[in-house]
């Protein structure tokens, strides 16, 4: 009799754990485009910056816009956008 209750307990814990993992994976899938977009802004800034192509200086407004403002805005509004 104890073996039957142990099996049902394991099944319940397993199904609850899978429900939590399923919820977390769905929330990350909705957040993934915002994370990628924010990372691409910083990537563009680094490529255009002084270290690679040298088209933008490190103290120019366009460099700071891409490197700091747009990158940080993606993560700042992430909790609001994924709800």
Give the tokens for residue 65: 């816009």
Q: Measure CA of the first residue to CA of the last residue in the chain; give whole Å.
A: 45
Instruction: Kindly report the backbone phi and psi dihedral angles of residue 13, in degrees, each rounded to the nearest multiple of 5, phi listed first.
Output: -65, -40
pLDDT surpassing 90 at residue 42: yes
Q: How far is CA 74 from CA 4, 33, 38, 80, 81, in A?
A: 50, 10, 5, 10, 9
pLDDT surpassing 70 at residue 35: yes
pLDDT surpassing 70 at residue 80: yes
The per-residue pLDDT for 30 is: 83
Give the residue-averaged pLDDT of 6-29. Answer: 80
């Amino acid at each position: 009799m104890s073996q039957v209750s142990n099996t049902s307990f394991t099944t319940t814990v397993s199904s609850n754990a899978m429900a939590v993992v399923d919820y977390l994976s769905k929330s990350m899938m909705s957040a993934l485009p915002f994370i990628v977009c924010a990372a691409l802004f910083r990537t563009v800034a680094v490529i255009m910056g002084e270290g690679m192509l040298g088209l933008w200086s490190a103290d120019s407004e366009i460099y700071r816009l891409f490197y700091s403002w747009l990158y940080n805005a993606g993560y700042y509004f992430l909790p609001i956008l994924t709800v």
